[in-house]
Structures are given as C-alpha cells and as structure tokens.
Structure 1
Amino acid sequence: MYNPTVARLTYRALLGRRRALILFILPGLLLVTAIAVRLLTGADDQTTADLLGGFALGTMVPLIGVIAGTGAIGPEIDDGSIVYLLAKPVKRPVIICTKLLVAVGVTIVFSAVPTLIAGLVLGGNSQNLAVAYALSAAVASVAYSAVFLLLGTVTRHAVVAGLVYALVWESLFGSLVAGARTLSVQQWALALGGKVADGGLVTSDVGLPAAVVLLAVVTAGATWYAGQKLRGLTIAGEE
C-alpha cells in the first residue's frame, strides 16, 4: 500500500511550496518560547504541561495536520493535476495510503519531534512529560492527517474547513464545553500520553480503551472514505 513515486511527488508538493514556511515557523516558535520560558522561570512541571498541552498539542499539531493533510492531495484536485496521477497504473487505495503516510510523517517530524525537544528544554523530561506529550502529538498526527486528507478529497475549501475544526472545535469548544472534549482528537491522544506521564499532569476526559477505539475508527474510516471519493473522481473523469 505504498508507491515511491506518489510519495516523492507528495513530499515535493508539501515541502516545496509556501506552506512549507509555516511548517517551520510553528515548531520554531515553540522551541523559542520553550527556551525563553526556561531561562525566565526555570524548570517547572506545571509550566511544561501548560505550554506543551496548550500550544504544542492544542494548536501546533492540528495546524500542521491541516497543512500536511490537505496539502497532500487538495492542491492536485484543485488544479486538475490529479488526473495525470490517476491515469497511472496505480490502485486508488495505494495513492491514498501513500499520501496518508507522507502526511503522517511530515506531521510527526514537524510536531511530535519539536514537542519532545521543547519538553526536554523546559523540564528535562521530568515526570515523563516530554515523552508523554510527544507520544500524544505523534498519535494525534495520524488521526489529524487522515481527517484532513479526507477533507482535501471532499471540498475545495479543505484548508478553511480544517482550520475551523482545529481552531474552533478543538481549541475553543474543546476547552470550554465538556461534551465536545469527548469528540476531540486531542483528548484521545492525551489519553495515551497520560499513561506514560507521572504525577497526573497529563489528563484526558476520555478513557484509554475508548480513545484507542475512536482513534482507530476515525483514522481507518477517514482513509477508507477518502479512497472512495478518489475512486468516484476517477469515474467522473473517465466518463
């Protein structure tokens, strides 16, 4: 379920355009903030949890997921160049799975890795906070990439829709409305990170079994439906 040519084209699309600038800006901002906080306040576990949970996992990870997920396929559909790819003897599920793997890889590199480094800078992995939040970021990267890749196949306004979900649902409603938190990728990912962290600073409103099931269902469901939409696009093009 992986095609090197499709992967190479997808990496080039993600890292060779203006959106790549944002991919570097957000992690850079996190690291600069972490260094500044450490120099000004010293090591503090609560501060580490607040910064990694609020900025890294709550804002940076979903935004990078939007950029990578929608950018993996959305621009090709918008400008019509997807037709040339679909004309190749590559199965549609392989195209989707390859693009998803690329989007996941990019999101993890630009979100989970900086989260780990920022956590080490802030507190030296005290109470396993750096590893816990990095794990949460990596897990969230998979689900976000699948969801936003799906958006890229169903709407020409995938970036706008992704930003609405990331900033309004995840960040705003997810922090204010208790019921909304149970339907939040961020909370599902935190459930896994909470099992790694010590001291109870990493918490989730969703239990671990439910979180694992929801992450699996959403990721698999979004990937499958994206493949179906791509197959429909092929049929329309052939007709």
Structure 2
Amino acid sequence: MYHPTVARLTYRALLGRRRAAILFLLPGLLLLIAAAVRAFNGADDQIAADVLGGFALATMVPLIGVIAGTGAIGPEIDDGSIVYLLAKPVKRPTIIVTKLTVAIAVTMVFSAIPTFLAGLILNGNGQQIAISYTIAALVASIAYSSLFLLLGTISRHAVVIGLVYALVWEALFGTLIEGARTLSVQQWSLAVAQKASGDNGMIASDVGLPVAVTLLVAVTVAATWYAGQKLRTLAPAGEE
C-alpha cells in the first residue's frame, strides 16, 4: 500500500520552492512569538499553554495540513497530470495511501517539531505542556491530512475551502461556539493532550478522550476510503 515512486514525486511537489517557503513561514512565526513572549514575560505555564493552544494547535497545524493535504494531490488533478499517474499499473488505494503518508509526514515535521521547540522556549516543558501539545499536533496532523487530501480529490477549490475551514471553523467557531467544538479536530487533539499532561488543569477539551479518539480514527479512515473511491472515478476508460 506504499509506492516509493509516487512518494518521491509527492515529496518533490510539496517541498518545491514556493510551498516550502510557506511551510517554513508558520513555524518560524511560532518560534519568533515564543521567543518574544519568553523575553517579555519569562517562563509562565499558563502563557505557554495559551500560545501553543491558541496559535500552534488552533492555527498553524490546520494551515500546514491544508498546504500538505491539498498539495499532495490537488495540483495534479487541476493540471490533468493525474491521468498519467492513473495510467500506470498502480492501484488507486495505493496512490491515496502513499500520498496521505507523505502529507502526514510533512505536516508532522512542520507542525509537531516547531510546537515542541516553542514549548521548550516558553517554559522548558513545565507541566509537560510542550510534550502534550506536541502529541496533540502529531494526532491532529493525521486527521487534517486525511481531510484535506480528500478535499483535494473532490474540489478544484480545495485550498480556499481548506483555508476557510482552518481559519473560520477551527480557529473561530471551534474555539468560541460550544456546539461546534464537538466537531473540531482541534478539540479532539486537545483531549489527547489533556490526558498526556496528566490532567494538570493547564489543558482542557470539551470532548472526552474516548469520543475524541473514536472520531479521530473514524474521520481519518472515512476520508482516506472516500478519497480512494473518488480517485477511481478519475481512472481512464478501461481502468479500475
């Protein structure tokens, strides 16, 4: 279910000059914010949790997920080059799983590592805040990548829709509106972070851990399956 050639081409597309610049921008901004906050406020556990939860998890991770998830397949569908890939003797589920694996890896590297480093800068991992939010970023990376990869297969406006979702639903509604929080990847990953922190009171989620884990797995599996089904409809005549 993993194709090295497809993976290499996908990595090349995602880490090209323009996309790589955007991918480095958000982590760089997070580290800059963390350094400034530490310089002006010193080490403070609550401020560290606020910065990592408010910017890293609520904004940076979903935006990087948009870039990596949609970029793993969307451009190929838009410019028609996906037809050449589909003409090869590679099963459609293998293409999706490979591209998803690459998208997850890229999202994790550009979100989880900066989150951990920012946590160390802010308070040296006091109260396990850096570790907990890093775990949350890793978990969220999987769900976001699958969602946005699916979006890239079903819409030519995947990036725009993804940005609206990330900035409006996750960063705004998922934070402020109680009912929307239950359907927020951010809240699901926060439930994991809350458990990882030992329920120290610094990290809280509106979703219980069993429900959060169930929804994370269900969304990831369903999005991956449907993306594979959608890709089948793009297959050349006579292919599967």
Would you say same fold, with TM above 0.5?
Answer: yes
TM range (shorter): over 0.9
Residue 11 of structure 2: aligned partner: 11
Instruction: Kindly state the Cα deviation for residue 15 of structure 1 after the two structures are TM-superposed.
Output: 0.3
Equivalences for residues 35-54 of structure 1 within 5 A: 35-54=35-54
- Structure 2 residue runs of 5 or longer lacking an equivalent are none
- Matched position secondary structure for 2:2: coil
Instruction: Kindly state the Cα deviation for residue 39 of structure 1 after the two structures are TM-superposed.
Output: 1.2
- Matched position secondary structure for 1:43: coil
Residue 210 of structure 2: aligned partner: 209
Equivalences for residues 123-202 of structure 1 within 5 A: 123-198=123-198, 199-202=200-203
Distance 2:156 2:73 in 1: 11
Distance 2:11 2:238 in 1: 25
Q: Is the 8 A contact 1:96 1:227 kept in 2?
A: yes
Distance 1:67 1:142 in 2: 13
1:54-89, Cα deviation, whole Å (9 max, x unpaired):
000000000000000000000000000001111111
Q: Is the 8 A contact 1:2 1:94 kept in 2?
A: yes
Percent same amino acid among aligned pairs?
74
Counting matched residue pairs gives 239
Distance 2:113 2:5 in 1: 26
Q: In the alignment, residue 135 of structure 1 is paired with which amino acid?
A: I
1:170-206, Cα deviation, whole Å (9 max, x unpaired):
1111122100000000000010110111421111000
Distance 1:4 1:120 in 2: 35
Instruction: Kindly state the Cα deviation for residue 20 of structure 1 after the two structures are TM-superposed.
Output: 1.6
Distance 2:94 2:17 in 1: 24
Residue 234 of structure 2: aligned partner: 233
Q: In the alignment, residue 117 of structure 1 is paired with which amino acid?
A: L
Distance 1:113 1:154 in 2: 30
Distance 1:237 1:190 in 2: 46
Q: TM-score, normalised by structure 1?
A: 0.98
Instruction: Kindly state the Cα deviation for residue 19 of structure 1 after the two structures are TM-superposed.
Output: 1.8
* 2:231 is aligned with 1:223: no
Instruction: Kindly state the Cα deviation for residue 236 of structure 1 after the two structures are TM-superposed.
Output: 5.8
Distance 2:236 2:223 in 1: 20
- Structure 1 residue runs of 5 or longer lacking an equivalent are none
Evaluate the alpha carbon distance shift between residue 30 and residue 89 of structure 1 in structure 2; reply closer, same or farther with a 3 A threshold.
same
- Give the superposed CA RMSD: 1.3
Instruction: Kindly state the Cα deviation for residue 238 of structure 1 after the two structures are TM-superposed.
Output: 5.9
- Matched position secondary structure for 1:166: helix
Evaluate the alpha carbon distance shift between residue 237 and residue 25 of structure 1 in structure 2; reply closer, same or farther with a 3 A threshold.
farther
Residue 21 of structure 2: aligned partner: 21
* 2:57 is aligned with 1:57: yes
Distance 2:169 2:30 in 1: 22
